[in-house]
């Protein structure tokens, strides 16, 4: 798992009115985005993660980082971009790549006075085990909820009611197929609106669960429909 911690930025010269910057990061065509923080000296301390699956880092692996002002009168305002080469993590996977005051480039690929400070690291299966399953799932739920989509959603929110209503969310877990490993005892964990559920433990690589989880809520649709359901096996 690749973990990126976006610490802070310096926007110079300062923008007026104060911007609402956010950071978008691409890795292997998968985008992750921080939330918006107001000011010319934003501090996020926000973690973005990518699962490598069966594709380890290569010598030419990189992160494409873009800083934008989402509070501009226009749709958004480009501030700068940069590329972070991940070759050091290929050579020494256990090390942490700390990038301080990374200079951002403008549309003409010329240096600006704007900078970003980030931290990149690889998490091995042993590192994840040290966190613990429950804590890891909670972290995943928080990060997924905070990673915003870049396409505008205001038109959807206008159509949804701001008044709280009663909802019941149901998730049915049928089965899993072709899980990797020998003599495994799989279990599925489901997080619905911050409430965690898990199936009974099964045996084998093609477990059949057929279990239903549900959770009741009293929330405003305009806010509630942005929540994420996290499923982990």
Boundary (domain end) residue, out of 94, 128, 162: 128
Task: Give the rounded distance of the alpha carbon of 116 from its chain centre.
Answer: 18
Give the tokens for residue 132.
Answer: 């613990």
Question: The domain that contains 223 carries what CATH number?
Answer: 2.60.40.150
- Say if residue 163 is in the same domain as residue 94: no
Between 67 and 146, residue with greater pLDDT:
67
pTM for the complete prediction? 0.55
**String of b and e for 179-201 (b: at least 16 CB within 10 Å)?**
eeeeeeebbbbbbbbeebbbbee
**159: phi > 0 → left, psi -120 to 50 → alpha, else beta; which?**
alpha
Whether residue 142 lies inside any domain: the answer is no
- Say if residue 159 is in the same domain as residue 83: no
pLDDT of 82 above 90: yes
Boundary (domain end) residue, out of 111, 128, 145: 128
Q: Which domain holds residue 220?
A: 153-232
Taking the C-alpha atoms of residue 103 and residue 80, their distance in angstroms, rounded to an integer, is 9
Give the tokens for residue 150.
Answer: 């870049």
Whether residue 14 lies inside any domain: the answer is yes
Q: What is the pLDDT of residues 164-179, one digit of tens each?
A: 888 888 899 988 887 8
Region of poorest pLDDT, from 93-97, 135-139, 199-203, 211-215: 135-139
Taking the C-alpha atoms of residue 216 and residue 195, their distance in angstroms, rounded to an integer, is 10
* Strand 195-198 to 43-50 pairing: unpaired
């Amino acid at each position: 798992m690749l973990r990126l911690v976006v610490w802070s930025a310096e926007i110079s010269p300062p923008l007026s009115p104060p911007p609402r910057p956010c950071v978008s990061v691409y890795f292997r065509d998968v985008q992750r985005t921080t939330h918006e923080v107001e000011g010319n000296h934003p501090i996020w301390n926000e973690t973005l993660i990518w699962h490598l699956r069966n594709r380890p880092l290569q010598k030419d692996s990189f992160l494409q980082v873009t800083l934008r002002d989402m509070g501009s009168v226009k749709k958004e305002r480009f501030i700068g971009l940069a590329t972070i080469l991940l070759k050091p993590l290929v050579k020494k996977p256990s090390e942490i790549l700390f990038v301080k005051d990374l200079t951002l480039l403008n549309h003409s690929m010329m240096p600006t006075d704007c900078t970003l400070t980030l931290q990149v690291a690889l998490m091995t299966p042993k590192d994840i085990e040290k966190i613990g399953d429950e804590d890891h799932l909670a972290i995943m739920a928080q990060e997924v909820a905070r990673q915003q989509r870049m396409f505008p959603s205001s038109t959807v929110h206008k159509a949804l009611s701001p008044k709280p209503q009663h909802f019941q969310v149901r998730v049915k877990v049928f089965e899993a197929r072709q899980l990797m490993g020998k003599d495994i005892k799989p279990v599925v964990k489901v997080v619905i609106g911050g409430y965690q559920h898990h199936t009974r433990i099964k045996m084998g690589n093609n477990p059949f669960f057929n279990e239903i989880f549900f959770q009741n809520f009293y929330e405003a649709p305009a806010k509630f429909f942005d929540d994420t359901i996290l499923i982990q096996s």
